[in-house]
Copies of this chain bind each other. A is one copy, B any other.
Amino acid sequence: MGDWQRYLDEHQTRFTEELVDLLRIPSISTDSAYREEVRSAARWTANRLQQAGIEHVQIMETGGHPIVYADWLHAKGRPTVLIYGHFDVQPADPLEQWAHPPFEPHIENHTVYARGASDMKGNVLLPILACEALLRSTGELPINIKFLYEGEEEIGSPSLEPFIKSNSDLLVCDMVVCADGGVGSKEAPVMNVGRRGLTAIEIHVRSANTDLHSGGAGGMAPNAIHALVALLDSMRDSEGRILVEGFYDDVRPITDDDRKELGQYPFHPEVYKENTGIKDFFGEPEYSPVERNTMRPTLEINGIYGGYQGEGTKTVIPREATAKITCRLVPDQTPEKIRQLLIAHIERHAPKAVDVTVETFAGDAKPYVIPRHHEGLLALERALSAVSDKPPVRVRGGGTVPVTALLKDALGVETITLGASLGNDHAHAPNEHYDLQNFARIQRAFCLLFEELAKA
Please list the residues of chain A having a beta carbon within 8 angstroms of any beta carbon in chain B: 30-32, 90-91, 93-94, 97, 119, 155-156, 196, 198, 200, 202, 207-223, 225-226, 228-230, 232-233, 236, 238, 240, 272, 276-284, 287, 289-294, 296, 298, 300-319, 321, 323-324, 326, 328, 351-355, 361, 363, 397-400, 423, 426-431
The chain B residue sitting closest to A284, CB to CB, is B219
| Cβ–Cβ contact A397 & B215, under 8 A | yes
The chain B residue sitting closest to A91, CB to CB, is B310
| Cβ–Cβ contact B210 & A289, under 8 A | no
| Cβ–Cβ contact A214 & B298, under 8 A | yes
Taking CB atoms, residues of chain B closer than 8 Å to A301 are: 223, 225-226, 229, 306-307, 318
Cα distance A290–B430 in the bound complex, in angstroms: 49
Cα distance A220–B300 in the bound complex, in angstroms: 12
| Cβ–Cβ contact A209 & B276, under 8 A | yes
> Provided the pairs A31-B312, A278-B353 are in contact, do residues A229 and B229 lie with their beta carbons within 8 angstroms?
yes
A–B complex contacts, Cβ < 8 Å, 9 sampled: A91-B310, A208-B277, A213-B429, A216-B427, A218-B298, A218-B300, A225-B304, A304-B305, A315-B400
| A113: min CB distance to chain B, Å | 13
| Cβ–Cβ contact A233 & B229, under 8 A | yes
Cα distance A97–B318 in the bound complex, in angstroms: 13
8 more A-B contacts (CB under 8 A) besides A225-B302, A226-B240?
A: A91-B310, A93-B310, A213-B429, A216-B427, A218-B298, A219-B298, A223-B300, A308-B324
| Cβ–Cβ contact B315 & A211, under 8 A | no
Cα distance A230–B399 in the bound complex, in angstroms: 26
| A157: min CB distance to chain B, Å | 12
Taking CB atoms, residues of chain B closer than 8 Å to A423 are: 216
